C-alpha cells in the first residue's frame, strides 16, 4: 500500500473500532477466517469487521503500530487466498455493503465490501446495471481492482471501464477520493492494479440501461467440442458487441432440460447470450445456432429463452459454490489455433 507508517504501538491488543473484532476462540472465528477456496486454511490473529471508513483507518493505524501484517477482504474469492493471512489482521469489509443508486445521473456508489449480487439487485430495480463478473457471490472489491470480466463486457466494457471514482484509505491513514482529476495516478492504479494501493471503501460506477436478455444455455458432447470452439474462433472477432459466447468443460449440470443419462458426464458448456433486446436476441442467437448446426454441432442440451439480468448473473452461482478445494491456472492465448483446440478437448474429455 502507498503511504508511510503511522502511529507507534499504543499498547492496545485490539483496534478501537465500532465493528466487531474476532480473535481465536471467538465462536465466529472459523466462519470469519473461511474464504471461498477451501484449499486456503489460514489463522489470522484478528478479523476486524469494519463498520465504516473510520474503522478502516483506525485498524490500519493500529496494525501498523503493532507491527502486524494486514490483508483486505472483500468477497473472499481470491483463489490463492490473498484476503486472509496467518498471524495477521484481516480487514473485513463485508459490512460496507451499501449501494446508493442515482437513476437520473445513472451512477451508483457501492460499498467496498459489496458482492456483485448487491449491486445487480439495487441497480436493476431502475432497469440499470454496471458490467461485472458472472458469479454473483464474487466481491465487487477484488473483481473491480483486477479489471472485471463478465457477460456484458463486449457491449459495455470491463468493470474498470465503468469506474468513475473511488474512496481509498491509504496506509498512512489518509482518506482520498480518486478520479480522473483528483489523485489520477492512484485512480489509474486501482483500475487493474489489484488490492495493493490502499483500501477502497467506496466505488462509484457508471450505469447502463439493460432489460431482460435472450440466452441459449447450451451443452455439447465432447466429440462436438472442436467444432464449437473452431466456430467460436471464426465468428467472435467480427460478431456484434451484443453477442457473448463463452465455453468451459464441466460435468453436465442437473438442468431441467438436460437428458438424465448425460447428467454428470463431461461436456462443453457454451452459453450464447444477446446483451440487447429479447426479440432481436432470439433471432440473432438462433442464427448463430443454425450456423453451428451447419458446421455439424447440435447441442446435447439447450435451454433457450428470455432471462432477467439478475437471474443470468446468478445462473452459475451453484456450479461455482463455496467450500470446494480449488487450484487454478490461467494463460492468455494469441489465437485459438487447431493444435490448442485439440489439447483443450483432449483434457476436457477427462475432467474428474
Q: Which residues bind ligand FAD (CB under 6 A)?
A: 36, 71-79, 82-83, 93, 112, 133-135, 138-139, 141-143, 145-150, 194-195, 199-200, 320
Q: CB 215 → ligand FAD: shortest distance, Å?
A: 16
Specify the residue for cell string 458446421: 295
Could you give the angle at the alpha carbon of 108 between the alpha carbons of 104 and 110, nearest 5°? Answer: 160
* Residue 347, CA distances (Å) to 218, 264, 268, 283, 341 in order: 20, 16, 11, 34, 10
Element (H, E) at 123: helix 116-124
Q: Which CB atom, from 109 or from 230, has the smaller least distance to ligand FAD?
A: 109
Could you give the angle at the alpha carbon of 265 between the alpha carbons of 259 and 267, nearest 5°? Answer: 85
* Residue 174, CA distances (Å) to 1, 30, 171, 197, 287 in order: 12, 32, 7, 12, 54
Q: Which CB atom, from 171 or from 297, has the smaller least distance to ligand FAD?
A: 171
Q: CB 347 → ligand FAD: shortest distance, Å?
A: 20
Q: Which CB atom, from 82 or from 221, has the smaller least distance to ligand FAD?
A: 82
Q: CB 291 → ligand FAD: shortest distance, Å?
A: 26
Q: CB 61 → ligand FAD: shortest distance, Å?
A: 17
Q: CB 337 → ligand FAD: shortest distance, Å?
A: 25
Q: Which CB atom, from 44 or from 148, has the smaller least distance to ligand FAD?
A: 148
Could you give the angle at the alpha carbon of 114 between the alpha carbons of 110 and 118, nearest 5°? Answer: 85
With CB atoms as reference, the residue minimizing the distance to ligand FAD is: 142
Q: Which CB atom, from 8 or from 332, has the smaller least distance to ligand FAD?
A: 332
Contact 272, 244 (CB under 8 A): yes
Amino acid at each position: 500500500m502507498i503511504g508511510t507508517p503511522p502511529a507507534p504501538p499504543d499498547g492496545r491488543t485490539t483496534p478501537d473500532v465500532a465493528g466487531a473484532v474476532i480473535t481465536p476462540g471467538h465462536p465466529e472465528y472459523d466462519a470469519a477466517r473461511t474464504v471461498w477456496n477451501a484449499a486456503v486454511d489460514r489463522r489470522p490473529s484478528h478479523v476486524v469487521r469494519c463498520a465504516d471508513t473510520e474503522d478502516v483507518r483506525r485498524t490500519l493505524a493500529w496494525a501498523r503500530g503493532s507491527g502486524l501484517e494486514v490483508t483486505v477482504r472483500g468477497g473472499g474469492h481470491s483463489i490463492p487466498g490473498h484476503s486472509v493471512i496467518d498471524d495477521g489482521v484481516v480487514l473485513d469489509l463485508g459490512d460496507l455493503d451499501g449501494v446508493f443508486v442515482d437513476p437520473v445521473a445513472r451512477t451508483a456508489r457501492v460499498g467496498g465490501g459489496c458482492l456483485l449480487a448487491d449491486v445487480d439487485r439495487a441497480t436493476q430495480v431502475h432497469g440499470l446495471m454496471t458490467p461485472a463478473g458472472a458469479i454473483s457471490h464474487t466481491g465487487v472489491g477484488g473483481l473491480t481492482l483486477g479489471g472485471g470480466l463478465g457477460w456484458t463486457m463486449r457491449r459495455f466494457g470491463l468493470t474498470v471501464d465503468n469506474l468513475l471514482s473511488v474512496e481509498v484509505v491509504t496506509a498512512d491513514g489518509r482518506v482520498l477520493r480518486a478520479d480522473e482529476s483528483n489523485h489520477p495516478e492512484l485512480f489509474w492504479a486501482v483500475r487493474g492494479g489489484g488490492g495493493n494501493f490502499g483500501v477502497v471503501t467506496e466505488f462509484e460506477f457508471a450505469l447502463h440501461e439493460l432489460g431482460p436478455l435472450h440466452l441459449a444455455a447450451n451443452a455439447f458432447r465432447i466429440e462436438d467440442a472442436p467444432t464449437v470452439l473452431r466456430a467460436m474462433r471464426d465468428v467472435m472477432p467480427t460478431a456484434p458487441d451484443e453477442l457473448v459466447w463463452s465455453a468451459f468443460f464441466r460435468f453436465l449440470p442437473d438442468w431441467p432440460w438436460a437428458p438424465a443419462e448425460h447428467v454428470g458426464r463431461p461436456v462443453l458448456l457454451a452459453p450464447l447470450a444477446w446483451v440487447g433486446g429479447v426479440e432481436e436476441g432470439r433471432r440473432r442467437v438462433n442464427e448463430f445456432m443454425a450456423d453451428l448446426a451447419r458446421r455439424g454441432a447440435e447441442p446435447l442440451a439447450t435451454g433457450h429463452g428470455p432471462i432477467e439480468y439478475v437471474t443470468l448473473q446468478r445462473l452459475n452461482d451453484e456450479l461455482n459454490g463455496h467450500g470446494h478445494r480449488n487450484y487454478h491456472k490461467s494463460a492468455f492465448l494469441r489465437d485459438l489455433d487447431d493444435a490448442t483446440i485439440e489439447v483443450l478437448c483432449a483434457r476436457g474429455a477427462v475432467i474428474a
